[in-house]
């Protein structure tokens, strides 16, 4: 019986114990007794006044301070579809390519025969490319493959039939890829996950305490635990 609202970004949560009003960028406001907030760590870390900042009224400085202590890294991902798996002539069993090229990490779909290559740039290298356009990033990816596969760039472009580039560091409502441990992470993670007045509950991969941090599995498990805590706090 739940209603799902798409393309409705939240910009502020006004709350008091047992009551919350959630305001969105569309002008709509939704009222609830409990809120389960699953925004990425990149949203928690946005500076006040910047696009994507999540307002809280009253604010929660201890939670924001905890979020600032957690690491959140950038990733740029490339998915390139070619007309044929031409690399198999030279590298018939190619699964992963690890290199020092500008786009250093690539993998194929093996054992699936589809002619797709996925590229990956992460960490400081991805941060340095935050302002690059999608076309500039694609050029960088093709130049990297030219270097790694020893295929002339014109031939590579002729083979390319589709491309997808996602720069997660600049993605609205995300501002990064996934969390990573820092000194003090366990305490900060516990502080950020702490419910507020049995009214505001928090979830996300950055809050997961298990071994699968930084994964979709961590996000799902964290959400399930937070939902269980919310339901347990509901008045009988």
- Tens-digit pLDDT profile for the chain (236 aa)? 788 999 999 999 999 999 999 999 999 999 999 999 999 999 999 999 999 999 999 999 999 999 999 999 999 999 999 999 999 988 999 999 999 999 999 999 999 989 999 999 999 999 999 999 999 999 999 999 999 999 999 999 999 999 999 999 999 999 999 899 899 899 999 999 999 999 999 999 999 988 887 889 999 999 999 999 999 988 76
Query: What are the structure tokens assigned to 118, written together?
Result: 């996925």
Bond prior to 72 in cis (omega within 30° of 0): no
Kindly report the pTM of this predicted structure.
Answer: 0.88
Instruction: Quote the CA–CA distance of 231 and 75 in Å, as a whole number.
Output: 35
DSSP 177: S
Report the alpha-carbon angle 209-202-234, nearest 5.
115
Q: Which domains does the chain have, with CATH numbers?
A: 10-72+179-232 (3.50.50.60), 75-170 (3.90.660.10)
3-state secondary structure of 122: strand
Query: What are the structure tokens assigned to 67, written together?
Result: 């979020």
Instruction: Quote the CA–CA distance of 151 and 82 in Å, as a whole number.
Output: 13
**The dihedral sign for the CA sequence 48, 54, 57, 63:** negative
What was the pLDDT predicted at 209? Answer: 87
């Amino acid at each position: 019986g739940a209603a799902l609202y798409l393309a409705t970004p939240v910009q502020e949560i006004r709350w008091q114990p047992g009551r919350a009003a959630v305001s969105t960028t569309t002008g709509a406001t939704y009222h609830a007794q409990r809120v389960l907030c699953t925004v990425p760590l990149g949203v928690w870390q946005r500076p006040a006044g910047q696009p994507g900042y999540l307002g809280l009224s009253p604010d929660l400085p201890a939670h924001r301070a905890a979020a600032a202590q957690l690491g959140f890294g950038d990733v740029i991902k490339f998915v390139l579809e070619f007309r044929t798996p031409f690399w198999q002539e030279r590298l018939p069993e190619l699964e992963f390519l690890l290199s020092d090229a500008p786009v250093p990490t690539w993998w194929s779909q093996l054992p699936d025969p589809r002619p797709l290559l996925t590229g990956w740039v992460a960490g400081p290298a991805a941060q340095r490319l935050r302002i690059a356009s999608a076309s500039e990033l694609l050029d960088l990816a093709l130049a990297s493959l030219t270097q790694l596969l020893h295929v002339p760039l014109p031939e590579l472009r002729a083979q390319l039939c589709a491309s997808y580039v996602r720069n997660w560091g600049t993605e609205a409502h995300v501002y990064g890829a996934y969390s990573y441990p820092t000194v003090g992470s366990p305490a900060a993670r516990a502080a950020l996950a702490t419910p507020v007045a049995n009214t505001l509950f928090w979830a996300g991969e950055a809050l997961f305490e298990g071994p699968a941090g930084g994964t979709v599995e961590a996000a799902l498990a964290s959400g399930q635990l937070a939902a269980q805590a919310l339901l347990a706090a509901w008045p009988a």
